[in-house]
Amino acid sequence: MRYYSLNHNAPRVSFAEAAVKGQAPDKGLYFPERIPSLPQGFIENIKQYSKEEIGLTVMKPYVGGSIADNELQRIVNETINFEFPLVPITDSIASLELFHGPTLAFKDVGARFMSRCLGYFNRNSNEQVTVLVATSGDTGGAVANGFLGVEGVNVVILYPSGKVSPVQELQLTTLGQNITALEVQGTFDDCQAMVKQAFADADLNNKLSLTSANSINVARWLPQQLYYFFAYQQWQHTSAPVICVPSGNFGNICAGILAHVSGLPVTHFIAACNANDVVPQYIQSGQYQPKQAVATISNAMDVGNPSNFIRILELFHQQFNELKNKMSSVSVDDATTTKTIKDVFQQHHYTLDPHGAVAYYALDQYLQQHMADKGFILETAHPVKFPDTVEEATQQKIAIPESVQYLLHLQKQSITMPPIFDALKEWLMNR
């Protein structure tokens, strides 16, 4: 499989090159030159396959040629070595819990796959690679955890001091080894600006081999298809599901649509957004107008110009009507999100996180108009990562899952830094 740039002004490349480069030289996103069809009988017999078999079957056409089968199987197995339960909330709505990975977020899947691919491609090189990443919470933790202990790779995470939740901060700052956390005395935007400037800085690029672990990377995007298949294995209803995905950069839902194009049965997709409503507006008007992001309580979706939207258009052959028939998109405000957490907890004893709550509300509204359908949401993070909002809505303390209890006994280790690029540069040059 080769990949072309969606800006159509760069050579086609292998999976390996697309994964190492991240973005095409013409600044376009890479896209597979054809969408493989699933093997005959695969969907009909999906319950008979193990997660690992599904993983290899789905990923091999995309990666084949760049990674040998036995290595790919190892990478897939390590990527998905936790649970992906589809938990019923009501008769018609279930929750695909994607928060059972090491950092309690769906981003673990993409980050684990990407880090292992880069480790593999880098296996014979003596050069140290530095992954620089700015985070508002979830990305940094998943990336850092994914790269923990990967040889030849150093990870430097910038996070805004006081603006990530306690569990998120522990996940970022207690790993040690090849992971360093920089606690920036500023906002997420400051962190992102510092990282951007570092990638453009000649001195830094001469001295270090800098890489990003950006969500547009094909090695993060493509493995996110897998849990749509795991959900379908657990799907009990006769009609194909309506799938509702809380969306920010639209990578997650885009992976679901890709799985569908290759043969996974899906009745309809809903992209649930918070107040950042560029795509809902687009579906209404046909006009795509990026905006400045606004802050919400589902902050991992505070994106004003979703980078993967262009891939979704490509999957629908750039046809607005084709897209509109298969995918709708709605915007849900913070007050409704909080009320949804409260209502679902009181009525169904299920604790949603703010991102899952946005999706739940959107799916519930849709199903009221389509009574014969049934569906599930993607629950993208554990509620314990957003304790302030969730505990206020439910009036209950959230128990910290056993899998992260050990964090509470670890010592936070961070390097404090002013929100100034020169401070970052000096630190990187002299470490």
Ligand X SMILES: *Cc1c(COP(=O)(O)O)cnc(C)c1O
- When the beta carbons of 42 and 159 are compared against ligand X, the nearer one is 159
Let me know: does 340 contact 357? Beta carbons within 8 Å. Answer: yes
Taking CB under 6 A as the criterion, the residue among 94, 117, 297, 301 binding ligand X is 301
Number of residues that bind ligand X (CB under 6 A): 16
d(CA 147, CA 168): 17
Can you tell me which of 355, 364, 389, 394 binds ligand X, judged by CB under 6 A? 355
Q: Are 271 and 279 in contact (CB under 8 A)?
A: yes
Closer to ligand X by CB, 105 or 242: give it: 105
What secondary structure does DSSP assign to 371-400, as a single string? TT--EEEEE-B-GGGSHHHHHHHH-SPPPP
Name the minimum Å distance from CB 64 to ligand X.
Answer: 25
Phi, psi torsion values for 129, nearest 5 degrees: -100, 140
Contact region with ligand X (CB under 6 A), list: 54-62, 151-159, 245-253, 257-265: 245-253
Residue 381 touches ligand X, criterion: CB under 6 A = yes
| Residue 22 found at the interface with ligand X (CB under 6 A) | no
Residue 380 engages ligand X in binding (rule: CB under 6 A): yes
Among 122, 168, 225, 249, binds ligand X (CB under 6 A): 249
Structure tokens at 368: 């009221």
Q: How far apart are CA 221 and CA 252, in angstroms?
A: 7
DSSP code at position 237: S
By beta-carbon proximity to ligand X, the closer residue of 151 and 189 is 189
* Nearest-approach distance from CB 377 to ligand X, in angstroms: 11
**Binding segment toward ligand X, per CB under 6 A, in 27-35, 122-130, 243-251, 321-329:** 243-251
Site for ligand X in 210-229 (CB under 6 A): 215
User: Which one among 5, 54, 75, 107 touches ligand X, defined by CB under 6 A?
Assistant: 107
Pick the closest to residue 63 from 45, 79, 48 (CA basis): 79
Closest by alpha carbon to 147, among 167, 118, 122?
A: 118
* Candidate list 246, 256, 280, 375; residue touching ligand X; CB under 6 A: 246
| Under 8 Å between Cβ of 105 and 382 | yes
Give the whole-angstrom CA distance, residue 154 versus residue 132. Answer: 9
Among 72, 86, 89, 105, binds ligand X (CB under 6 A): 105
Choosing from 228, 229, 250, 309, the residue that interacts with ligand X (CB under 6 A) is 250
- How big is the CA angle at 82 (ends 80 and 86), to the nearest 5 degrees? 100
Residue choice 119, 140, 160, 248 for contact with ligand X (CB under 6 A) = 248
* Neighbour tally for 149: CB within 10 Å: 12
309 DSSP assignment: H
Smallest distance, ligand X to C-beta of residue 109, A = 11
Whole-angstrom CA distances from 8 to 30, 241, 398 are: 10, 35, 48
| Nearest approach, Cβ of residue 127 and ligand X (Å) | 30
Using the contact rule CB under 6 A, the part of the chain among 25-33, 248-256, 258-266, 399-407 near ligand X is: 248-256
DSSP 186-198: S-HHHHHHHHHHH
Tokens read off for 256: 């679901």
Tell the smallest beta-carbon distance from residue 391 to ligand X (Å): 17
> 123-162: which residues touch ligand X (CB under 6 A)?
138
Binding positions for ligand X, rule: CB under 6 A = 105, 107, 138, 215, 246-252, 300-301, 355, 380-381
